[in-house]
Amino acid sequence: MSSGQRIKNILIGIAIILGALILIAFPEEGIILTASILSISLFIYGIKTLIYYVTMARHMVGGRIMLYLAVVVLDLGMFTMMLTNIPKIYIVLYLVVVYAFAGVVSILRALEAKRYQAPMWKLSLISGIINVVIAILCIIFMRSTNMIVYLYCAGLIYSAIVRIVTAFRETAIVYIQ
């Protein structure tokens, strides 16, 4: 990881912590705000992936997968944007499913990294387990929107801390002689 990427990850981690603190300060509007932030993030990531496909990935083997990923993420972003007009319980269910899915993907990536004896698999596994536990706790406290916002903010703060810690870790450099 270059020093520019390290600084970027630290700044993103700090921004996530500040966003979580804002959500804690205003828990009533937290679910709508969280859905809006998620939809904007998905939309920006989808545009970024689409630009990557147009500029580079279409010339690569298996590059068409990037196009499919961009279209699916753009659709999810637009779908999330449309959710802000419906009752909060559906938004909560959607956010919990997204959070649980991210946790399961993180766990599966950690198990794959363990299989290849990568050094960071434990942190990824713990992060995935925490995401799944937060999703389960959100389902348990489904009726209390404030509690769901607090749980979601705890997950955001944990994820930001992991991002900042990862930025300070040494990365392995492979030398070709």
pLDDT tens figures, 79-120: 888 877 777 777 778 878 888 888 899 899 999 988 888 777
Asked if the model's pLDDT at residue 25 lies above 90, the reply is no
pTM here is 0.72
Asked if the model's pLDDT at residue 177 lies above 70, the reply is no
List, in order, residues 6 or more apart from 24 with CB less than 8 Å away. Answer: 149, 150, 153
Distance, CA of 170 to CA of 173 (rounded, Å): 9
CA nearest to 123, candidates 66, 162, 173, 72: 162
Asked if the model's pLDDT at residue 57 lies above 70, the reply is yes
Q: What is the dihedral of CA 133, 135, 136, 138, to 10 degrees?
A: 120
Distance, CA of 58 to CA of 68 (rounded, Å): 11
List, in order, residues 6 or more apart from 5 with CB less than 8 Å away. Answer: 167
pLDDT band at 175 (very low <50, low <70, confident <90, very high): low
pLDDT band at 27 (very low <50, low <70, confident <90, very high): confident
pLDDT band at 11 (very low <50, low <70, confident <90, very high): very high
Domain ranges of the chain: 3-167
Instruction: Tell me which amino acid residue 45 is.
Output: Y
**Average pLDDT of the residues of the chain:** 85
Distance, CA of 156 to CA of 153 (rounded, Å): 5
CA nearest to 48, candidates 77, 10, 15, 24: 77
